[in-house]
Structure 1
Amino acid sequence: MAFTSTPRGARRARRLVSHRLHEWGHPYDSTPNETLTLIAAELAANAVCHGRVPGRDFHLRLIAAPVLLRIEVSDTRGEWRPAVGTPRPPAPDAESGRGLLLVERLANRWGVAPREAAPGKCVWAELDVPAHRTASGPQA
């Protein structure tokens, strides 16, 4: 789905992820739902703050597989790409810079790839889930 590159768009993306996971069998108060919703919030906020190009939306894709949940957030700003690996902690008094630290600690895997068929980048994160809890659903 496409969302406006605004705080409202990021908020709507986060809510969509939580709702879709609930529909796919991961209740709102379950660990997979809460974890992936937080990851979605951080990736969407980064797309709005660091990947914003005026007039361009960011895109979110959510995928459920038997033992895996994957989120992909794409934006059109390809010249700024986060470094994969353990992000450096910000200064204690810094007002930002903790989002990818959260993603690093919450996701089982994450990375950055060129955006398919368009300029920009795709930041993705994966969360392993027990096989009996995952309900396959369509891609969002």
Structure 2
Amino acid sequence: MSQPLTPVSDLALAATPNAAYWARCHTVDVLRRWAFPTEGTEVARLLVSELTTNAIEHARPLGPPEAAQPAPDVILLRLWPTPTGVVLQVGDNDPRPPTPQSPSDSALGGRGLLLTATMATRWGYHPRRPHPGKFVWAEVPARPSATFRKPADGQRESNPLLLGQVLTALREL
């Protein structure tokens, strides 16, 4: 008798500004159906928003704007459970590796990968074969509060989940 297949969810989205909204809705819906814990679902929602927003930025053609393609590129979202959480994977057509930024305090963007690195158990990227581009992935623990790093002595404690919620709410305005 063969083993049952692990549930996997795939969603293709046009690389348009509303893709992040639909990716969040899809992620929450799938994780609820999988009975994923609420706390983990919230973190997954935030990270999918960040990864999708990055993919929208990087799905644009690498050439000059006047050479833009007539139809938007496609972003691919894949979710699958692991024994301790869920993996979120977002693909775009830009082959360049993701690079965490060091934005100024007043910058409106550039913190997505830093937030991902803080809130995910682990994250990375790999080529999107056989198509051009890459997949950026993050593993979200089912119980994220148990995995957040504690501040060193003398440092203020921060809540990455709260920071992520604030950044996502600002982006949704």
Q: If the TM-score is normalised by the length of the shorter chain, which range does it land in?
A: 0.7 to 0.9
Amino acid aligned to 2:34? W
The answer as to whether partners of 2:87 and 2:137 remain within 8 angstroms in 1 is yes
How far the C-alpha of 1:89 sits from its partner, in A, is 2.7
Matched, 1:101 2:134: no
Conservation of the 8 A alpha-carbon contact between 1:75 and 1:122? yes
Larger Rg: 2
Determine the structure 2 residue equivalent to 1:21. 31
Residues 33-72 of structure 1: matches in 2 within 5 Å?
A: 33-53=41-61, 54=69, 55=71, 56-72=73-89
Secondary structure of 2:18's match?
helix
Q: Is the 8 A contact 2:58 2:92 kept in 1?
A: no
Structure 2 gaps of 5+ residues are 1-10, 62-68, 144-173
Superposition RMSD in Å? 1.5
Tell me the CA shift for residue 88 of structure 1.
4.2
Structure number with the bigger relative contact order (C-alpha 8 A, sep ≥ 6) is: 1
* Displacement of 1:26: 2.1
Provide the secondary structure at the position in 1 that maps to 2:55: helix
C-alpha distance in 1 between matches for 2:60 and 2:125: 16
| Paired residue type of 1:15 | C
Contact 1:3-1:57 within 8 A present in 2 as well: yes
Which has a greater percent of helix?
A: 2
Residue 8 of structure 2 is aligned to residue 8 of structure 1: no
Cα pair 1:18 1:37 within 8 Å, conserved: yes
Sequence identity percentage: 37
1:21 to partner: Cα distance = 0.3
Paired with 2:36 and 2:142, the residues of 1 have a C-alpha distance of 10
Using the alignment, how far apart are the partners of 1:52 and 1:13 within structure 2? Answer: 18
Ranges in structure 1 where 5+ consecutive residues have no aligned partner: 131-140
TM-score (norm 1): 0.81
**What is the aligned residue count?**
124
